[in-house]
Amino acid sequence: MLKQTSDPRSRVGITAVGSALPDAVLTSQSLLHEAARGLGRTLPPTLLAQATGIITRRVAADDEHASTFAVRAARRALAAASLDPHDIDLLLFASASRDMVEPATAHIVQAELGSNAHALDVTNACNSFINGIDLARVMIQAGRARRALVVTGETPSRAVRRAPADLAAFRDGFAGYTFGDAGAAVVLEAVERGGILDVDTETRSEHWDVGGIPGGGSRHPRGDNHTYFRGDGHELRGVFEKTGTSVVERTLHRNGLDWSCFAKVLVHQVTVPYLERFTELTGVPAEKLVITVPELGNIASASIGVQLEKAYEELLPGDRVLFVGLGGGISIMTMIWEKS
């Protein structure tokens, strides 16, 4: 029997979803060729595809920004729900990317949509979108909002070192070559049945410096060298393997569930080898996954939102979905959602 963690009189569910992708496609072979040209040396043309399983990714055009994809996804979600932007009274931009340090990108999204909701940013690396959904849920339950729009727009391709100065820089930024751009959005409101049934988190902040983009804050406010992603992909994977699987097991055990209880399992996707390892360690049946990483790459916090839209129309009322979020910092998050 599934444990209902919130008052059933104030259940909150996802009632619409949307996503958005850039038109431009960049292959791993082309990206590796750019890096090799910057290095002034030859690299095996299949190195990136073989190491990551990523064949292509979508990348933003020069005149497209994080807010661009958030707005496009938001419009799709609102249309799916037959809602006007003024029907929303809480707007959360929940993303690892942003248009600028200040003001909050939520205000740029809101200005484009024409809404007048309470607007703010939520940021926690690749877990930002799930954190935003959880925050919106709690605010609706607290009576602070009636209907929320949670959006993300990710442009991590802007932080990829396409012309590394040397092999050390290439290795340091290699994890960034997995990135692609995308946006996602969900509408949340009170529901009579189902909805978000369980949330669990685990944070291991002692690993905060394993990877990230150091520029733009008070530590490194300026300097192009700090605007690129750097990190140890192997160390990140090791932490996720040790901690992430235990959170998943804890969530299933606490609620008395097994994999047969879920129609889909949506997990943040970094590379194909990591997704295969996640499947091996947790035992989740591969057919319950919605695989996007070979064609879209690591789209940061938009990953689960894009997967959700792909699966949404196939889901029936009563179907349960497990979200598994993995974010730098490091944080792990699970969420059980039942379609109303």
Per the residue annotation, which of 126, 131, 207, 255 is the catalytic one?
A: 126
126 is catalytic: yes
User: Distance between CA atoms of 251 and 229, rounded to whole angstroms?
Assistant: 32
261 is catalytic: no
DSSP state of 147: E
Judge contact between 125 and 97, C-beta under 8 A: no
268 is catalytic: yes
Give me the amino acid identity at 57.
R
The DSSP string of 287-323 is GGB---HHHH-B-TTHHHHHHHHHHHTT--TT-EEEE
Judge contact between 183 and 69, C-beta under 8 A: yes
> Could you report how far apart the first and last alpha carbons of the chain are, in Å?
18
Dihedral (C-alpha) 97, 101, 102, 107: value to the nearest 10 degrees? -10
Give the closest residue to 327 by CA, choosing from 307, 304, 308.
304
User: Distance between CA atoms of 112 and 115, rounded to whole angstroms?
Assistant: 8
Residue 27 corresponds to which tokens in the numbers above?
């292959």
Per the residue annotation, which of 124, 127, 255, 298 is the catalytic one?
A: 298
Residue 263 corresponds to which tokens in the numbers above?
């129609």
Give the closest residue to 133 by CA, choosing from 94, 88, 75, 181.
94
User: Distance between CA atoms of 232 and 252, rounded to whole angstroms?
Assistant: 30
Scored b (16 or more CB within 10 A) or e, 165-192 reads eeeebbebbbbbbbbbbbbbbbbbbbbe
Judge contact between 106 and 148, C-beta under 8 A: no
Per the residue annotation, which of 124, 127, 131, 268 is the catalytic one?
A: 268
Judge contact between 117 and 60, C-beta under 8 A: no
Judge contact between 136 and 110, C-beta under 8 A: no
Annotated catalytic residues are: 126, 268, 298
